[in-house]
Each structure stands twice: as C-alpha cells, then as structure tokens.
Amino acid sequence: MNNTPKLVLMTSEELEHLIQNSVREALSEHSNPTPKGKTFQPHEYLSIEEASIFLKRSISTLYSDCHNNSIPFYKRGKFNYFLKSELDEWLASGRKKTAKEIREEALSNLSTKGGRR
C-alpha cells in the first residue's frame, strides 16, 4: 500500500474562502466564550432601517409607532433602536383568534358561568 498523502489542488478563490471561514470560526470561538453546556444569545439590536425591513413597515410608520409608544423601542440620543426578540414578541401579541377558537371560548364561558344567579 502507498501511504503518501494525496495532493489536493484548489483554486485561489477556494483557498481564500477556506481561510476566511477558518478565521471567522476562530474569532467567533475566541470572542464569545460560553460556559460548558450553556449557549450564549446576545441581544440583537436593530436600527430603525433594519426594523423597517424586519417588520415590513415604512420608517415613517415606525417613527409614528415610537411616538405613540405602541411598539417597544430604546432611545439613545436622537436614535431609536429595537430589540429583535421584543419585536418578535410584539408581533406575536397581535395574533387574532380564529372563529373556531372564539366559539370554543364562548362555549366554555357559557358552561362555567351558566349556573350563576
């Protein structure tokens, strides 16, 4: 058997991509050390432009929502920032019940409150 290693040829673009990915992984592991068994979830803040794209709303609508305090946001100086996880919760809180859920809730309320005098 021949135990000599095989020579693998790469294009310069493939080699550059491999090096970039390796450096990114090394930097990521070094800059975000986490205790064993735990995952680290940093807060992801969005600018008003990024929030506009994420929510699919115009920037002027977002400014109006901020002015009316109808959306969760943070203000630093003259800039508004949004925590992505809070925007997710805000979106989920606007869920409308289906007709079936409304009927079931009404029936449940009738059966529990129907015996009251």
Range of the domain at 54: 45-93
Type of residue numbered 28: S
Count how many domains the chain has.
1
User: Does residue 107 lie in a domain region?
Assistant: no
Give the contacts of 42 (CB within 8 A, at least 6 positions apart).
32
pLDDT single digits (tens) 104-115: 999 988 887 655
For the chain, what is the mean pLDDT?
83
Cα separation, 61 vs 67, in Å, equals 10
pLDDT single digits (tens) 4-20: 767 667 788 877 878 88
User: Does residue 36 lie in a domain region?
Assistant: no
Cα separation, 18 vs 8, in Å, equals 13
Q: Is the pLDDT of residue 99 over 70?
A: yes
User: Does residue 19 lie in a domain region?
Assistant: no
User: Does residue 8 lie in a domain region?
Assistant: no
The pTM (predicted TM-score) of the whole model is 0.52
User: Does residue 99 lie in a domain region?
Assistant: no
User: Does residue 52 lie in a domain region?
Assistant: yes
User: Does residue 30 lie in a domain region?
Assistant: no
User: Does residue 57 lie in a domain region?
Assistant: yes
Could you tell me the two tokens for 102?
């409304």
